[in-house]
Amino acid sequence: MDTAPQSKRSTLLWLLLLIAVVFLWWYLRPEPDRGASHAAIEADRIAALDTDPDDILVDLRDDTSAATVAQIERDLGIDLVLVSAQSRDEQFYRAKVDPARRDAILAALQRRSDVEVAEPDAMFAASPIHGHEVLPPEGTWEGFPNDPMYSRQWHMRQIGMPEAWKLADGEGVIVAVLDTGVAYEDHGRFHQVEDLKGLTFVKPYDFVDDDTHANDDHGHGTHVTGTIAQVTNNKLGVTGVARNVQIMPLKVLGGNGSGSVAGIADAIRYAADNGARVINMSLGGPFPSKALKNAVAYAHKKGVVVICAAGNDGRNKVGYPAAYPGAVAVASTQEDEGTAFYSNYGKDIDIAAPGGNTRSGEAGGVLQNTIKIGDPTKSGYFAFMGTSMAAPHAAGVAALVVGEGVTNPAMVEQILKESARRPNGKTYSSDRYGAGIIDAPAAVHAEAQRRKDRRGMGTTVVACVIDGRRATVAHVGDSRAYLLRDGHLHRLTTDHTIVAELVARGAIAPDEADRHAYKNVLSRNLGAKPTAAVDVSEVELQPGDRLMLCSDGLYGYAPADAVHHLVASTDPPDEVVRDLIEAALRGGGGDNVTAIVIEAGVAVVPRATMVLRTTGAGAWWSRRDRFLAAAHSGGVHKSPLCALLGADEAISLVAGNFADAVYHDLEKATGVNVWTYAENLARGWLGQGGAWPPLRDLLDGLARAADQVLGELRREDMGLADLVALAVARAMVTAETAVGGVLAERLRSLETD
């Protein structure tokens, strides 16, 4: 019998079987080794699937009586224990059950009308940590921000924080961080990390141990908190997105990075009930929970923005709670603006933010100050990666938007999405990026322009930097700078108005300009657009020169010959400013009457100083000191003499009509131009000391701009003209817009009084 064909068939069958086995192995093989980071991600994926077979969570109706609770316990043979001391009002319980009876008990509970949720208590986890410690450099950093490790925070620059820091800081907004806790206090073996000192913490709670000390014994939560609100510009460590928010530390994950759905849901409700406006959850799991979904909906209904990490499984499915309605799901980008290999993706992604990639080292990670992993007695600066690191960038920007007065969380989400940008050099996909990469300055600016009462809002600025004998002047709009030399008054700036352009083109005669219907319509301003073009000029000062910076409320009403006479007088600058303001008021100027006079003495101080005059405000900053004073006297609101006393008392400076001008120019930009100087006084807008909060906010923004310029002057070999243009066009464009929104709200409240 010929066995050759049979042998061939057998060989072929074995070959086919071998191919099938190889194919099956290939199909079911573990993910390719991508280093330790990927192995940790796989482990985290498995851990997040765990549930405790002995625990169920039960959410009863809030009006359930104690007698009914006791009856449920008797009927089912269980003990209902509050999830925490904070969950009594919510009637949120946990019960340990016999695993063999769990399904029957759940079914019985789910049939009851007084039970809103009954389900197994799942365990969710923080995203895995792959930390690279980064040692702080020696020496100091002189720019803004002056945090010495800021240069390594590529992620802050990716979302536009250098510009956003100048326009908003989230002051007063409470952000709840639901995580492994925060290293926010010195308590027992726990210590506050150095770069969180100075940050305000409110209403902490530990939902793992059920006490009021939400300390971090893991490291994840402190790192997340740092991205949201690390103390910034403190000459230490690193920066955070929203540096003046208040943090509510809520510990829902233990030292192993995991925690129960019951504790997380309880903490969400606690945050919503205790003043949080933003919640960050850099945690999650791959399966749904009705209790968690209800908690997110509860917070959203109470006006809380809920920001969640999308998950680190690298698959086409967003994890929970990020996938719930009312939550903002954040995907992760890396330094080159591509999406990170681990980031979940899909139709539920809302937005993308920097999460980093440390596979090739610390430089690609998100850098923050936190405790050493699992050891709260030690701390340092660590570069992590994960959607856990992406979410707090979005939470910080959400806090900036909330700080501008947006109270509807759906509107905050819309603003974040509408202002997001496409990645540079990468193919955009909504499944990967959602609406795009979050853009902090665009988000705040979009809010200012979205509302009808703020749309088109802008203001003017004239700035002067003096370095030795060289004065560099920059301006946008129709505020002006003049130079008095040898008795002659020379105008250094050209108005950015429609009428000025008509005169320049010869369309109208110069003497027609003052009577033209559009004489006050600006062709260029600050705040109406995200950027602005700045005109810059330079002049060499001579002994006896005087510089005057002024608003249209001055030169538009004080006669030109009177202005010339007063500036050329031998009176000291403070008296000149007073007389200029009074001349403008006599000429019909009701408000926005402001002047700054700078006099060059025999010797000009050989160091950089900066004068900023914006929206009728005058102030002076130097590298060493900052002076600001305001007083009310004789019916004229003015600032007394602010002097830089160098060896020769070389420069003196005065600012006039301070708070009124700040208020009026911003309101005029909205089209509301009804309040006169007297009415402002009567309504108390011009209080003693210039202590009105929006005014302080504006001045703080201008001071930061000055600090940035002076820092960059030290750090780089840049011409002063470039520095002024940088400060005005980039650092100050949106500061006034943010404050303007506060002013608009204030005006409306006055109108309804």
Amino acid at 173: V
Q: Residues in the chain with pLDDT < 70?
A: 1-53, 127-131, 138-143, 447-459, 464-468, 514-522, 525-532, 574, 589-593, 600-753
Distance CA 396, CA 393 (A): 5
Cβ-count burial of 444 within 10 angstroms (0-12 exposed, 13-18 middle, 19+ buried)? buried
- Contact predicate 587/626, CB 8 Å: no
Q: What are the structure tokens assigned to 133, written together? A: 């410690």
pLDDT for 361 equals 77
Cα dist from 196 to 136, 370, 388, 399, whole Å: 16, 9, 19, 18
Cα dist from 41 to 126, 275, 331, 572, whole Å: 11, 34, 15, 70
Domains of the chain: 132-450 (3.40.50.200), 461-752 (3.60.40)
Q: Strand 246-251 relative to strand 174-179: parallel, antiparallel, unpaired?
A: parallel
- Contact predicate 166/701, CB 8 Å: yes
- With tokens 């011409």, the residue in question is 719
- With tokens 């109208």, the residue in question is 508
Could you tell me which residues come within 8 angstroms of residue 265 by beta carbon, excluding any fewer than 6 positions away? 57, 59, 83, 92, 289, 291, 292, 294, 295
Could you tell me which residues come within 8 angstroms of residue 45 by beta carbon, excluding any fewer than 6 positions away? 286, 312, 313
pTM > 0.75? no
Distance CA 115, CA 370 (A): 41
3-state secondary structure 373-408: CCEEEEEEEEEECCHHHHHHHHHHHHHHHHHCCCCC
Among the listed residues 459, 543, 426, the one whose alpha carbon sits nearest the alpha carbon of residue 158: 426
Cβ-count burial of 453 within 10 angstroms (0-12 exposed, 13-18 middle, 19+ buried)? middle
Q: Where do the DSSP E strands lie in 492-605?
A: 535-540, 546-550, 595-600
Cβ-count burial of 360 within 10 angstroms (0-12 exposed, 13-18 middle, 19+ buried)? exposed
Give me the DSSP letters along 467-499: ETTEEEEEEESS-EEEEEETTEEEE-----BHH
Q: What are the structure tokens assigned to 452, written together? A: 């009808």
Among the listed residues 226, 633, 551, 251, the one whose alpha carbon sits nearest the alpha carbon of residue 641: 633
Helix boundaries (H) for 404-557: 409-418, 430-433, 440-450, 498-504, 510-513, 552-555
Q: What is the dihedral of CA 717, 627, 594, 520, to 10 degrees?
A: 40
Q: Strand 174-179 relative to strand 278-281: parallel, antiparallel, unpaired?
A: parallel
The residues annotated as belonging to the active site are: 179, 220, 388
Q: Phi and psi dihedrals of 638, rounded to 5?
A: -145, 165
- Contact predicate 346/317, CB 8 Å: yes
**Which tens digits make up the pLDDT trace of 368-427?**
999 988 888 999 999 999 999 999 999 999 999 998 888 899 999 999 999 999 999 899
- Contact predicate 459/665, CB 8 Å: yes
Distance CA 519, CA 284 (A): 59
Amino acid at 338: G
Among the listed residues 184, 182, 179, 181, the one whose alpha carbon sits nearest the alpha carbon of residue 199: 184
Among the listed residues 32, 154, 149, 129, the one whose alpha carbon sits nearest the alpha carbon of residue 387: 129
Distance CA 557, CA 553 (A): 6
- Contact predicate 159/299, CB 8 Å: no
Q: What are the structure tokens assigned to 173, written together? A: 């907004």
Distance CA 678, CA 688 (A): 15
Distance CA 657, CA 631 (A): 9
Q: Quick one: DSSP state of residue 31?
A: P
- Contact predicate 344/311, CB 8 Å: yes
- Contact predicate 250/178, CB 8 Å: yes
Q: Quick one: DSSP state of residue 84?
A: S
Q: What are the structure tokens assigned to 500, written together? A: 């000025």
